[in-house]
Amino acid sequence: MLTADVVPAELGELDPEQQDALDACVIAAMTWCTPGGDVRARARLLMECYGRYLRACGVSGRAASFPDFLGRLRRAPVGELLPGPGSWSRIWDVRLLEDDGTAAPVLARLAMEASAPAQQVPGMGADLRHVHSVLRALGKLPTGARLSRITAEVVQHAVFQTLRQAGFTAYTEGREALVTTPVMARRALARHAQLADLGVYTAISPMRQFAGWWAPCPLCRWTMRAVPRGHHAADLRCEDVRHTERGARFAMTSQDGQWRLDPAGGEIRHAPQLQPVEGRVALSYGLWQWIVLPGLLEIELKERAEEAGAQVRLWPYGDSYDLHITKNGAVWRVDVKTWADPQGIAQRMREDSEGCAGLTVVIPEHLGGYTKVLTRVLGPHGARVITDVTLTDEVSAA
């Protein structure tokens, strides 16, 4: 299965017509599987997506009829929907919807990156509008402008640059709070004036609550998606596929008027506590995806290194890189990359080739297959690429 992590690199292999067709399919699939919203508006949006899909496929393309288009969204991999020749790209084999018609793990990420068109999707539109409002408030998106595509770098740069203006200590504390507390009580947020001023917390999305309740993922603490199963039951699962595979998925049911969660499989044996939606605010999807998830690995690596007897500083020297680790005279200047996007990383390194000399670029173990290609890209600039497991082993052995 294609995970959200490799989407940027995979999308780079699509031609413009295939990209346009994919965006149309993504928005249509998200509209199809997202409950709520006006029925006529949803139907209009599906027809608009179909029209964009036809234009992308062209007169001589292999576009499906509208009923067949909707049917394929539910059962076909992306490669059977896109015009033109196939490619090695693994996105060709991914499905946008699960067998039961719910969103596949990669769908929300693709919808976020489609940006402007996805603002019309019920539920997802609120997440996107919030990210756009944050970027606009921070001066990274001119009034009236719309991003054709949102990236992790755009969001991170806007938020982190603003945090840095308050000084290094406030920056470190604020960034760590975003990672470790992606959901807060409104009263608690008031005590974090810097975060409150950023406007990064907002009301919990209707897509991630049920019957006035929400539950945190045991691994990332963010709001899990709620998939209703009638009026008296719902499935709750983390938006991150790896967390779901480990067991961050639960059945929510009502017994004698009391709601409860039960584990639905995996290594996580204890369900988190349901919490009331009222009085809580959360980071929206894009901020969770591009700030919380990468930050979790950075903080985990800090804890691992300290357990191995090393001294560690998070985001040192104005965030020139992510971790400065020292032990017995050995030094690691670590930059953590959780998205396998060789082209994007190469471009950023070319813009600051001196900054990566002596840098240790660390990627998650599950993306270890990208080590060689990233080494080819970054090696000439003086950086080396290893996985988080290798880094932990090196620090332990020092």
Boundary-marking domain end, from 70, 92, 118: 118
| Whether residue 130 is found in the same domain as residue 102 | no
Residue 169 falls inside a structural domain: yes
Same domain, 42 and 84: yes
Residue 295: inside a domain: no
Q: Are residues 201 and 217 in the same domain?
A: no
Q: Is residue 294 part of a domain?
A: no
pLDDT tens-digit series, residues 233-278: 999 999 888 899 899 999 999 987 789 999 998 899 899 999 999 9
* Per-residue CA distances from 312 to 30, 125, 292, 325, 349 (Å): 42, 40, 20, 5, 24
Average pLDDT in the 155-179 region?
87
Nearest to 357, CA basis, from 324, 323, 388, 333 = 333
Which range among 117-121, 284-288, 331-335, 339-343 shows the weakest confidence by mean pLDDT? Answer: 339-343
**Does residue 270 fall inside a structural domain?**
yes
* Sign, Cα dihedral of 103, 107, 109, 112: negative
Q: Are 164 and 268 in a shared domain? A: no
- Considering the domain architecture, whether residues 252 and 160 belong to the same structural domain is answered as no
Q: In this structure, is residue 379 part of a structural domain?
A: yes
Write down which residue in 55, 90, 118 finishes a domain. Answer: 118
Per-residue model confidence (pLDDT) at position 147? 53
Among candidate residues 240, 256, 289, the one where a domain is terminated: 289
The residue-averaged pLDDT of 358-365 equals 91
How would you class 369 by CB atoms within 10 Å of its CB: exposed for 0-12, middle for 13-18, buried for 19 or more? exposed
Which of the given ranges, 114-118, 216-220, 288-292, has the highest pLDDT on average?
216-220
The answer to whether residue 297 is domain-embedded is no
In a domain, 54, yes or no: yes
- 71: β partners: none
pLDDT of residue 374: 84
Task: Identify whether the C-beta of residue 128 lies closer than 8 Å to the C-beta of residue 110.
Answer: no
Both 182 and 139 in one domain: the answer is yes
Q: Are 224 and 217 in contact (CB under 8 A)?
A: yes
Boundaries of domain holding 136 = 123-205+282-289
State the chain's mean pLDDT as an integer: 83
Domain count, the chain: 4
Q: Domain for residue 221, yes or no?
A: yes
Angle between helices 39-57 and 16-33 (to 10 degrees): 160
